[in-house]
Amino acid sequence: MADHIWPSGLTETVDGGLALHGHALRDLAAAYGTPAYLVDVPDLIARARAFRDEFATAFEAIGTTCDVFYAGKAFLCTALARLLDAEGLSLDVCTSGELAVATRAGFPSERTGMHGNNKSVAEIEAAVEHGVGRIIVDSMVEIERVVATARRRGVRVGVMLRVKTGVEAHTHEFIATAHEDQKFGFSLAGGQVREAAAEVLRHPDELHLLGFHSHIGSQIFDSDGFRVAAERLIAMQLQIAQEHGVVLPELDLGGGFGIAYVPEDEPLTPREMATQLAAILRAACEEAGTPVPRVSIEPGRAIIGPAGITLYEVGTVKPVQVDEDLTRSYISVDGGMSDNPRPALYEADYVATLANRLGDDKTTQSRVVGKHCESGDIVVRDQQLPVDVRPGDLLAVAATGAYCRALSSQYNHVTRPPVLAITRDGVRTWLRRETIDDLLALEGE
Ligand SMILES: *Cc1c(COP(=O)(O)O)cnc(C)c1O
């Protein structure tokens, strides 16, 4: 499959079906059932390495380093955490649940960051006890809590301040003014960042202020939003240096690097993004006359998203007369909004393809829907699919590696699909399929 929305290990077989690293999807469905999330492991590793190496190279060229923190919220399990560790990436978690997976995986604590706008005291305790390399603090009350925990445990905790830069980026557009009305971070424009920095610096025995952190959005397709955010952050760093005589050593530019869900999406490559961000940072630091800080970025989707696909079985096919001119074929699959809520949540677009055989050349306007009790339970809103798609066929949906299993639910008491890691050598179960017994195990009397 040449198209850039599919993982690189996906190929067509001689009989017209699809295979991932030589494993026919038909055989995988027979062995593991459907729906199933499949991860192309070599594709995933190549993406992780591309971020690690391209950002290292680009930032080395401007005299600094860049650490890649994988954003665990996109998808996290023990095996993935271990794989990313082996590749030298760092890891962001934002709850004690995600931290528990990192701990179980033996992920190095100093390369782990703790996020969240409302970490509980217990979560802060767990993060400090685990010895995370940095806590990204999001409010004044949290600063107090981290100070109290650090004091109680007699340790000094590295912190970054989550900054609301007033930039919101989304795909092709970004807004550089007044995106103040959201929950994350200290406001730059409102002076909260200065206050928070002063507060952290008042507690040098408990806290080490590493620098500022900004995350401007998701599915970002160019670097303009990052430029505005970086310029504002560097200007703020300069102000802190002038007021407190402290040069903040680090800067985190967040994640949000876009991926292709549909063929029209053309994200920047990691190399293009790295080169542009390094140039932006160098220019901003030159302008401010400050040293270039050590940088970190936090891609989630761009590492795991394109490496994953979801395999479904078709259950029913029903023609629906939409209007005088249009009949749409409604193809129901055995999952839906429980394993991929993104279409229902954000009207996200996906592409499906017949996976067990070559379909008819003739196509018809189709909508792939799930099995849940909501008419918004859509997997693919609008796509031409072969006219002969029928019950028992398999459909594969592209780019489901990020924010599908992570956002999945047991809506209608469905059991969540397994996550199967595919290499040329074989299939490993990263997460098994849930069972009805798993669901019933939660029940009281
Ligand atoms: C969600 C998030 C990320 C990752 O976003 P992607 O779109 O998956 O790259 C990184 N950093 C923070 C703080 C986030 O909230």
Q: What is the mean pLDDT of residues 279-298?
A: 97
Q: Give the type of residue at 338.
A: S
Collapsing DSSP to helix, strand or coil, 145 comes out as: helix
DSSP states along 352-407: EEE-SS---S-EEEEEEE-SSS-TT-EEEEEEEEETT--TT-EEEEES-SSSSTTT
The CATH architecture that domain 41-304 belongs to is Alpha-Beta Barrel (3.20)
The Cβ-side half-sphere exposure at 294, using a 13 Å CA radius, reads 9
pLDDT of residue 179: 65
Ligand 1 centroid–CA 115 distance in Å is 10
pLDDT of residue 342: 96
Q: How far apart are CA 326 and CA 51, in angstroms?
A: 45
pLDDT of residue 170: 77
Residue 176 banded pLDDT, cuts 50, 70, 90: low
Which residues are part of the catalytic machinery? 373
Q: How is residue 155 written in tokens?
A: 């340790």
Ligand 1 centroid–CA 256 distance in Å is 5
Report the pocket of ligand 1 as residue ranges, CB < 6 Å.
71, 73-74, 115, 215, 218, 254-257, 298-302, 402
Protein residue with its CA nearest to atom 3 in ligand 1: 255
Q: Using most ligand atoms within 8 A of CB, pick from 298, 303, 304, 403 the residue to mutate for ligand 1.
A: 298
Q: State yes or no: cis peptide before 35, omega within 30 of 0.
A: yes
Digit-coded pLDDT (tens) for 344-364: 998 999 999 999 999 999 999
pLDDT of residue 303: 98
CATH class of 3-33+307-440: mainly beta
DSSP state of 413: G
Q: Which atom of ligand 1 is nearest to the CA of 305?
A: 8
Instruction: Please check whether residue 419 is in contact with residue 431, taking contact to mean a CB–CB distance below 8 angstroms.
Output: yes
Q: How far apart are CA 55 and CA 49, in angstroms?
A: 10
Residue 182 banded pLDDT, cuts 50, 70, 90: confident
Q: How is residue 138 written in tokens?
A: 């999001």
| Pairing between β-strand 352-354 and β-strand 18-20 as defined by DSSP bridges | unpaired
Q: How far apart are CA 40 and CA 83, in angstroms?
A: 13
Q: What is the mean pLDDT of residues 205-231?
A: 96
Ligand 1 centroid–CA 218 distance in Å is 7
Q: Which atom of ligand 1 is nearest to the CA of 115?
A: 13
Distance in Å from the first CA to the final CA of the chain:
52
pLDDT of residue 190: 86
Q: Which atom of ligand 1 is nearest to the CA of 220?
A: 7
pLDDT of residue 394: 98
Domain locations in the chain as residue ranges = 3-33+307-440, 41-304
pLDDT of residue 172: 67
Q: Which atom of ligand 1 is nearest to the CA of 257?
A: 9
Residue 22 banded pLDDT, cuts 50, 70, 90: very high
Q: What is the mean pLDDT of residues 246-260?
A: 97
Q: What is the mean pLDDT of residues 246-268?
A: 96
pLDDT of residue 1: 61
Protein residue with its CA nearest to atom 10 in ligand 1: 255
Digit-coded pLDDT (tens) for 298-325: 999 999 999 999 999 999 999 999 999 9
Q: Which atom of ligand 1 is nearest to the CA of 298?
A: 10
Asked whether the predicted pLDDT for residue 2 surpasses 60, the reply is: no
Q: How is residue 407 written in tokens?
A: 């956002």
Residue 181 banded pLDDT, cuts 50, 70, 90: confident
Report which of residues 105 and 183 the model is more confident about: 105
pLDDT of residue 177: 58
Q: Using most ligand atoms within 8 A of CB, pick from 68, 69, 92, 268 the residue to mutate for ligand 1.
A: 92
Which of 244, 271, 247, 246 minimizes the C-alpha distance to 257?
271
Ligand 1 centroid–CA 297 distance in Å is 9
Residue 175 banded pLDDT, cuts 50, 70, 90: confident
| Helices and strands (DSSP H and E) totals, the chain | 12, 24
Protein residue with its CA nearest to atom 15 in ligand 1: 215
Q: How far apart are CA 121 and CA 147, in angstroms?
A: 11
Protein residue with its CA nearest to atom 7 in ligand 1: 256
Protein residue with its CA nearest to atom 13 in ligand 1: 215
Asked whether the predicted pLDDT for residue 397 surpasses 60, the reply is: yes
Digit-coded pLDDT (tens) for 406-433: 999 999 999 999 999 999 999 999 999 9
Give the chain's mean pLDDT. 96
Q: How far apart are CA 29 and CA 42, in angstroms?
A: 21
pLDDT of residue 298: 98
| Pairing between β-strand 217-220 and β-strand 168-171 as defined by DSSP bridges | parallel
Q: Using most ligand atoms within 8 A of CB, pick from 218, 219, 273 the residue to mutate for ligand 1.
A: 218
